[in-house]
């Protein structure tokens, strides 16, 4: 099946009435989650995962992915109107978006965010479509040593690209690795750190972990705040950006798209990081950078484009190599497995309906979001008026039911609460949970591929240096590490990014 045929097949899958409905539901839920501050795509996908048990694998993946890119559209609305990021990927949109809204240009800001998102998302999808096929056939040649080297590279990117303190990111990463090794040893079948608890024999579940760290913790953090958010009372008119808006932001959209495109593929990159970089780049290339922070439309267009194109391309490593490059896809990876679909080089061949159906649905979803989103903005504004005291108990309830229904086991609720407390404390003490959960998923892959490699080579490390792909990846690892140490030594700080 070549790419074009595949895409046609994908549309035929995605346009089946029930799948079309699922795209719609996914996008709508995603936008809702994006609009609501606090709860993000990781928690949302984990909570909704059990709801998909009755669906076909293609249908459920289509819906869960819809949540992911729907969030990217919804997040900007809250940032622009409330000055509170609906989602981490729209933190930077607050800076200029809110200012635009205060100047009475809320419509332009919302409009350019939506159109930029659409353009970038679609370009990202074209990339996903053309890169995935060839990459999968190459990826089949990747054996344990190649996987080991690539994941090692991923780890270095994760710590390098994390915003905030690199030291703390590193610690969270190692904690994630430690947590991931709870359960059965993959090579000798021994139990590790299970304390004789039967429910831990298969390890800690990704969904309760993610729900705890990203859902429950968020609820705790919000509940203790005594202030409430204020919604800007503006009349939103004319959501279509003016000619001037387009002129000002067309290059910003393109730059954002390109930045997101590449950062999406990198492990540890993803939508959130791409928005910070895109904003920084815009500020640097602007003729009069002092406009930024005072309602520059490029400051909205570029990051909003970046996060959508990153969202599309971040599927590339997951679907071809089976390596999730960011937190949301780490959770989505778990969803694939639950539905008996193993992401990796064989995915396109063995589950063409899932792969092409997902791709087709994302094209459709992007159009749907563009059409639906703008007229629905008044509705989202109403949603934002739901008082926290109603919203947060309900989120907590959905987390509880979600955690329970994955394995129909109360134990998972306990796990979720414990990680909820942990996540709350992490935030208090200034640690980011993202490296933890990413390493939690990559850890077992890393370990098992290292040990498989050594089994195949009978304990000789030459296996990592005699195979070209593995060698290149390992050389890049060393180069990055050396560069890191050098720049730390020379006192040149990395481009410091303020988190939240």
Partner 1 sequence: MTDKKEFIGSVVWLLVAVSVMITSVRLDIGELSNPGPGFFLFWSSLLLGILALIMLANIILKKGESEISGGARLWKNLNWGRNVVIVIALFIYCLVLPILGYIPSTLGLMMILFYKGQMKPWAVICASLLAVLLTYCLFYYGLKTPLPRGIWFF
Partner 2 sequence: MKKNNRRFLMVIIGTIIMFVLVLGSGPAIAEYPERPVTVLVGFAPGGSMDLSARALARSAEKILGQPIIIENKPGGTGTVALAALLSQNPDGYTLCATPSSVLIRVSQIQHVPFKPLTSFKPIIGFAEPLLGIVVKNDSPWKNIQDIVNDAKKNPGMLNYATTGVGSTTHAAVDEIVVAKKLQMIHVPYKGSVEALTSLLGGHVDFASLTSELVPSVKSGQTRLLATMSKKRSPKFPAVPTLKEAGYDFVNDAVFSIVGPANLPPELAKKLEVAFAKATKSKEYLESLDRIDMVPVNYNSKEFDKFLRINWKKINKHLIASGLIKEAATLPE
Residues that bind partner 2 (CB under 8 A): 53, 57, 140-144, 184, 186-189, 191, 196, 198-199, 201-202, 338-340, 342, 344-346, 350, 407-409, 411, 448, 452, 455-456, 458
CB of 202 to partner 1, least distance (A): 15
User: With CB cut-offs between 5 and 8 Å by kind, which of partner 1, partner 2, none does residue 181 bind?
Assistant: partner 1
CA-to-CA dists, residue 278 to 241, 255, 259, angstroms:
21, 7, 6
Between CA 282 and CA 280, with CA 252 as vertex, the angle to 5 degrees is 20
Of residues 228 and 288, the one with the C-beta less far from partner 1: 228
Of residues 48 and 362, the one with the C-beta less far from partner 1: 48
83 SS3 class: coil
Q: d(Cα 473, Cα 476) in Å, to the nearest integer?
A: 5
Q: d(Cα 376, Cα 371) in Å, to the nearest integer?
A: 9
Q: In sequence order, what DSSP letters do the residues of 27-72 get, joined into one string?
A: HHHHHHHHHSSS--HHHHHHHHGGGGGGS-HHHHHHHHHHHHHHHH
CB of 41 to partner 1, least distance (A): 21
Which residues make up the interface to partner 1 (CB under 8 A)?
A: 50-51, 53-54, 167-168, 170-171, 174-175, 177-178, 181, 185, 187-188, 190, 192-193, 220, 223-226, 388-390, 392-394, 396-398, 400-401, 404-405, 408, 410, 413-414, 417, 420-421, 424, 428-431, 443, 447, 450-451, 454, 458-461
Of residues 185 and 202, the one with the C-beta less far from partner 1: 185
Nearest CA to 77 among 377, 351, 478, 444? 377
Contact predicate 140/326, CB 8 Å: no
Per the listing, tokens 């490390």 go with: 461
Check residue 36 and report its DSSP letter. S
Of residues 369 and 439, the one with the C-beta less far from partner 2: 439
User: With CB cut-offs between 5 and 8 Å by kind, which of partner 2, partner 1, none does residue 500 bind?
Assistant: none
- Over its C-alpha atoms, the chain yields an Rg (Å, rounded) of 22
Of residues 130 and 185, the one with the C-beta less far from partner 2: 185
User: With CB cut-offs between 5 and 8 Å by kind, which of partner 2, partner 1, none does residue 389 bind?
Assistant: partner 1
CB of 319 to partner 1, least distance (A): 27
User: With CB cut-offs between 5 and 8 Å by kind, which of partner 1, partner 2, none does residue 479 bind?
Assistant: none
User: With CB cut-offs between 5 and 8 Å by kind, which of partner 1, partner 2, none does residue 157 bind?
Assistant: none
Check residue 242 and report its DSSP letter. P
User: With CB cut-offs between 5 and 8 Å by kind, which of partner 2, partner 1, none does residue 178 bind?
Assistant: partner 1
Nearest CA to 232 among 91, 381, 32? 381
Nearest CA to 241 among 297, 293, 295? 297
Contact predicate 74/87, CB 8 Å: yes
Of residues 38 and 212, the one with the C-beta less far from partner 2: 212
Contact predicate 355/58, CB 8 Å: no
């Amino acid at each position: 099946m070549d790419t074009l045929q595949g895409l046609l097949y994908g549309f035929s899958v995605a346009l089946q009435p029930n799948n079309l409905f699922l795209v719609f539901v996914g996008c709508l839920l995603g936008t809702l989650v994006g609009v609501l501050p606090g709860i993000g795509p990781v928690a949302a996908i984990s909570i909704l995962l059990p709801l998909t048990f009755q669906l076909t694998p293609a249908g459920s993946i289509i819906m869960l992915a819809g949540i992911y890119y729907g969030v990217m559209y919804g997040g900007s609305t809250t940032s622009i109107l409330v000055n509170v990021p609906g989602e981490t990927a729209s933190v930077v949109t607050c800076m200029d978006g809110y200012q635009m809204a205060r100047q009475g240009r809320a419509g332009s800001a919302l409009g350019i965010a939506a159109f930029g998102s659409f353009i970038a998302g679609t370009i990202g999808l074209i990339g996903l479509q053309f890169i995935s096929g060839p990459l999968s056939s190459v990826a089949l040649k990747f054996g344990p040593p190649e996987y080991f080297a690539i994941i090692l590279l991923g780890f270095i990117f994760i710590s390098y690209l994390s915003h905030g303190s690199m030291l703390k990111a590193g610690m969270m990463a190692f904690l994630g690795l430690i947590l991931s090794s709870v359960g059965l040893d993959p090579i000798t079948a021994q139990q590790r750190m299970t304390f004789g608890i039967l429910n831990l024999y298969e390890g800690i579940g990704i969904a309760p972990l993610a729900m705890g760290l990203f859902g429950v913790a968020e609820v705790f953090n919000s509940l203790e705040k005594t202030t409430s958010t204020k919604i800007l009372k503006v009349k939103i008119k004319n959501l279509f950006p003016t000619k001037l808006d387009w002129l000002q932001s067309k290059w910003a959209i393109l730059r954002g798209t390109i930045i997101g495109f590449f950062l999406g593929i990198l492990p540890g990159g993803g939508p959130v990081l791409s928005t910070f970089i895109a904003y920084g780049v815009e500020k640097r290339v602007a003729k009069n950078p002092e406009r930024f922070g005072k309602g520059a439309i490029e400051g909205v267009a570029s990051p909003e484009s970046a996060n959508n194109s990153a969202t599309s391309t971040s599927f590339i490593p997951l679907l071809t190599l089976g390596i999730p490059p960011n937190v949301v896809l780490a959770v989505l990876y778990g969803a694939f497995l639950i539905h008996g679909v193993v992401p990796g080089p064989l995915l396109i061949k063995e589950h063409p309906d899932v792969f092409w159906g997902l791709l087709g649905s994302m094209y459709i979803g992007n159009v749907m979001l563009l059409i639906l989103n703008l007229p629905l903005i008044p509705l989202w504004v109403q949603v934002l008026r739901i008082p926290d005291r109603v919203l947060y108990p309900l989120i907590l309830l959905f987390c509880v039911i979600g955690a329970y229904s994955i394995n129909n086991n109360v134990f998972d609720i306990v796990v979720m609460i414990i990680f909820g407390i942990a996540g709350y404390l992490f935030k208090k003490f200034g640690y980011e949970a993202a490296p933890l959960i990413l390493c939690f998923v990559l850890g077992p892959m890393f370990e098992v591929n290292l040990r498989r490699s050594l089994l195949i080579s009978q304990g000789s490390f030459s296996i990592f240096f005699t195979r070209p792909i593995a060698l290149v990846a390992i050389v890049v690892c060393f180069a990055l590490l050396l560069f890191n140490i050098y720049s730390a030594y020379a006192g040149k700080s990395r481009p410091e990014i303020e988190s939240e």
